[in-house]
A and B are shown apart, each in its own frame.
Chain A
């Protein structure tokens, strides 16, 4: 097997395996090697199965709003970490580091330890 293909398979397997710690689907569609920082206003927090979602309005440089959809772990996993469906509420401003969709579309993957309120309030499970 050519070394490039070998590396692709092994390196790829490491990436997809490492990021998929909790889910029923692969996370390879999210670029976990190149995280990006987003700041915005929570439009909606969906505490729903199979995974919770933050719908985040992010202001662009030209003043327009781009709505991002950010997938997290399951509500049951969040609950075990001290979250509830009221942890995030519409209108609240947050900063979050996400693994963006590889396509460049406004979607991504977030984890508990990478979410912060802009006003400095602590987020459950986030040291």
Chain B
């Protein structure tokens, strides 16, 4: 009898688990986001609809506009101390969504993951209905909570709405150095969806809310699907030749020696080295 009861209980548990698993893998409820998502041949400026640099027309406060112009000026003279990604630091949010290398979107019932091979970054967007934790340790990717929305009521989700908080610096929107406020309080709201007319195009409307901005700044980034996926390992530190020491940017020779990047660039300060300079 006991054996029978145990068997029944096990069967019941198994059925319950099977149901849960079936729910977790009910792909018909979600948009098909499989494949490789590339940003296409366009540039890597944050707002793809405008040229890079000042023509991005970023709604920055005067203080941060001055920082941005200083970054561009430094960049034009060969320096990019404002750009930690040049030395393989993570892009963080939202820059990781530029898709320097293709993105992979992995949808599960509780979490949507976005793999970013560039800089080996990874996003977790929790869709399990959780509330914001009382305290979040800031990370480069931040903490993201999402919600799937069935906009047209056809029983299938169309849009993933995401909010991301607790993003740590240093970071910038793009390689031109559009800055964030140094308080690292930026919040990002996204709407991720497939193009209605072409399911091989994915869009991400990303709104940045930051104290360096005079108003929320919304851009729409576009990605193109490649279904014949082939993934490449991209370990940035493998052979990176860009070096930032202080506010100076240098380049490494094949033998690993420092090379100047601009005319009359001073070498690094060697005061902690005892031997005489050659």
Cross-chain contact A50 with B78 (CB below 8 angstroms): no
A12 touches B100 (CB 8 A): no
In the assembled complex, the Cα of A102 lies from the Cα of B260 at a distance in Å of: 8
Q: Which of B70-86 contact A (CB under 8 A)?
A: 72-73, 75-78, 80, 83, 85-86
Beta-carbon contacts under 8 Å, A1-58 to B: 8-10, 12-18, 20-26, 28-29, 43-44, 46, 48-51, 53, 55
**A74 interface residue per 8 A CB criterion:** yes
**B75-A28 in contact (CB<8A):** yes
Do A17 and B265 touch (CB < 8 A)?
A: no
In contact, B234 and A50 (Cβ under 8 angstroms):
yes
Judge whether B191 is part of the interface by a CB distance below 8 angstroms. no
Q: Give Cα A51–Cα B88 distance, bound, in whole angstroms.
A: 12
Nearest CB of chain A from residue B221's CB, rounded to whole Å: 15
| Chain B interface extent, by class | 35 or more
Contacting pair A75 B232 (CB below 8 A): yes
Chain A 64-104, CB-CB to B under 8 Å as 1, else 0, gives 00010101001110010000000000000000000001111
In the complex, the answer to whether A10 meets B249 with C-beta atoms within 8 Å is no
Whether the Cβ atoms of A12 and B263 lie closer than 8 Å is: no
Q: B253 on the interface (CB 8 Å rule)?
A: yes
Task: Determine if B238 and A49 form an interchain contact, defined as CB atoms under 8 angstroms apart.
Answer: yes
Q: DSSP class of B's interface residues: helix, strand, loop or mixed?
A: loop
Q: In the complex the two chains form, what is the Cα distance from A13 to B70 in whole Å?
A: 11
- Bound complex: CA of A9 vs CA of B54, how far in Å? 8
Complex partner residue of A105 from B75, B235, B239, B260, CB under 8 angstroms: B260
Quick check: A50 and B240 within 8 Å, CB to CB? yes
The residue from B41, B83, B232, B253 contacting A26, defined by CB atoms under 8 A apart: B83
Bound form: Cα–Cα A91–B53 in Å: 41
Q: Mark B44-65, 1 if CB is under 8 A from A, else 0.
A: 1100000111110000000000
Q: Are A21 and B43 in contact (CB under 8 A)?
A: yes
Residue of A nearest to B253 (CB): A69
Q: Does any Cβ of B come within 8 Å of A124's Cβ?
A: no
Q: Mark B109-128, 1 if CB is under 8 A from A, else 0.
A: 00000000111000000000
**A interface residues, tally (CB under 8 Å):** 42
* Among candidates A9, A14, A22, residue contacting B44 with C-beta atoms closer than 8 Å: A22
Q: Are A49 and B233 in contact (CB under 8 A)?
A: yes
A7 to chain B, nearest CB (A): 11
Q: Report chain A residues within 8 Å CB of B263.
A: 102-104
A93–B181 Cα gap in the complex (Å)? 50
For B53, list chain A residues within 8 Å (CB).
9-10, 12-14, 16-17
Tell me the complex Cα distance, A92–B233, Å: 27
What is the CA–CA distance of A53 and B191 in the complex, to the nearest angstrom? 38
Report B-chain residues with C-beta under 8 Å of the C-beta of A9.
53-54, 69, 72-73
Other A-B pairs beyond A14-B55, A28-B76, 20, CB < 8 Å: A9-B54, A12-B72, A12-B75, A13-B53, A13-B72, A13-B76, A17-B55, A18-B51, A20-B43, A23-B44, A24-B236, A25-B80, A25-B85, A29-B262, A48-B239, A49-B234, A50-B118, A69-B259, A103-B259, A105-B259
| Residues of B bordering A, CB below 8 Å | 41-45, 51-55, 69, 72-73, 75-78, 80, 83, 85-86, 88, 91, 100-102, 117-119, 175-176, 230, 232-236, 238-242, 249, 251-254, 259-263, 265
